[in-house]
Amino acid sequence: MKVLIVGSGGREHAIAWSVAKSDKADKIYCAPGNAGIGEIAQCVPIGAMEFEKLADFAQKEEIDLTIVGMDDPLVGGIVDVFEERGLRVFGPRKNAAILEGSKAFSKDLMKKYNIPTAAYENFQDPAKALAYLETAKFPIVLKADGLALGKGVLICNTLEEAKAGVKEIMEDKKFGTAGNTMVIEEFMTGREVSVLSFVDGNTIKTMTSAQDHKRAKDGDQGLNTGGMGTFSPSPFYTKEVDDFCQKYIYQATVDAMKAEGRPFKGIIFFGLMLTEEGPKVLEYNARFGDPEAQVVLPRMENDIIEVVESCIDGTLDQVDLKFEDNAAVCVVLASEGYPVKYEKGIPITGFENFKDKDGYYCFHAGTRLDGEQIVTNGGRVLGITAKGKDLKEARKNAYEATNWINFANKYMRHDIGKAIDEA
């Protein structure tokens, strides 16, 4: 069959790699793709938000299955456009992707259906938000309602910081229209865990757990990023935690969306906080995480096309989702200065070191071809992933593999998965 993947980052490279392993995939396309994806798929110069052009391409090339990797096109309604053309597509419709597209919606949904989450209030008026903060307990969390590349969350330790945050989000519009509405919620403490899941509208099957590292610098310092690295599984995600989440969070969310007339088919990413009061939802995403996909998909034993098609067809209950009994760690190689200002177009060397190395992966995020040379084309450039028999071995292997790649201004955190040593 012919498969089209929509997106251009490390997550899409991991999806393309998984699709390429399937016996069902005869030809893979990716729009717009990147230099690494181009080695296993035909990259098509159509932007992820050009829905009509993408649908035209899918019809012309008789694409059998489209997998949408990115949040923006899902929230924008790409699935609706494809379905209206009779095209087979994997991902939530626009009315379900709002689960990620509006934090205010998702918080209200959790409140209505008693799904554990932090206490919160929604605001459209900056003056009312400021008045609320005068009586609030600190630290406190400010969240832009809409999509902000994973960076629209501010943790404020003082009233002064929070006031500056309101100005940044709601008045200066640092995150554009995403800040028209803002969520103010209580600051939760505990271990963060990410759990990705396949959903067919009724049934939910969770994947292995993972943990992201959002801050730019070691020790969880610096600015928020799209993610500087991940590990899987999380040693803090116990069977007891899983049992609780399956009952009170995962299935409850799927049932709530169905009850709201917004049946969800696709991927739900549960960002959890393991608090002293029990697991609570930090956020929902409506797609694979990035870089969570880079550690979860290499551990999945199932044929990804079979699982994706079962979600579309409503037969996920017949799938036995299996993951390898091992671990994986991904370290993001970024451009110095990310997430603020950084150079592009810098030559990258060392890719040949990954050839025929079982359990080692180099997923491209921000790369492009300049003639025959692969060069940097983004803040997050590569995701270096390695597996091991356990997390400590996987971490050692991943950091060893980061030395195989070189480019000027290469930057990475050196403590990805350090929490493993504390488990």
Q: Can you tell me the mean pLDDT for 118-138?
A: 93
Helix, strand, coil shares of the chain, percent, nearest 5, are: 35, 30, 35
What's the CATH code, domain 327-422? 3.90.600.10
First to last CA, the chain: 44
Q: Where in the chain is the domain with CATH 3.40.50.20?
A: 2-93
Q: Can you tell me the mean pLDDT for 90-113?
A: 96
Which of 392, 384, 396, 383 has the alpha carbon at shortest distance from 419?
Answer: 392
Which of 321, 344, 363 has the alpha carbon at shortest distance from 409?
Answer: 344
CATH 3.40.50.20 corresponds to the domain 2-93: yes
For residue 93, pLDDT beyond 90:
yes
Rounded to the nearest integer, the mean pLDDT of the chain is 95
What per-residue confidence (pLDDT) applies to 153? 87
Q: Where in the chain is the domain with CATH 3.30.1490.20?
A: 119-186
Is the model's pTM score more than 0.85? Answer: yes
* 178-215 per-position pLDDT tens digit: 899 999 999 999 999 999 999 999 999 999 999 999 99
Quickly count: other Cβ atoms within 10 Å of residue 390's Cβ. Answer: 13
Q: Which homologous superfamily is 119-186 in?
A: ATP-grasp fold, A domain (3.30.1490.20)
| Buried/exposed code over 163-191 (b: 16+ C-beta within 10 A; e: otherwise) | bebbebbbeeebbeebbebbbbbeebebb
Q: How confident is the model at residue 343 (pLDDT cuts 50, 70, 90)?
A: very high
CA-to-CA dists, residue 326 to 279, 295, 296, 322, angstroms: 24, 11, 11, 12
Q: How confident is the model at residue 224 (pLDDT cuts 50, 70, 90)?
A: confident
For residue 422, pLDDT beyond 90:
no
Q: Where in the chain is the domain with CATH 3.30.470.20?
A: 191-318
What per-residue confidence (pLDDT) applies to 6? 98
Q: Is 123 helix (H, G, I), strand (E, B) or coil?
A: strand
Strands of the sheet containing 27-32, edge to edge, are 42-43, 27-32, 2-7, 65-68, 89-90
What's the CATH code, domain 191-318? 3.30.470.20
What per-residue confidence (pLDDT) applies to 178? 87
AA identity, residue 203? T
CA-to-CA dists, residue 77 to 72, 89, 101, 200, 325, angstroms: 9, 12, 11, 18, 37
For residue 253, pLDDT beyond 70:
yes
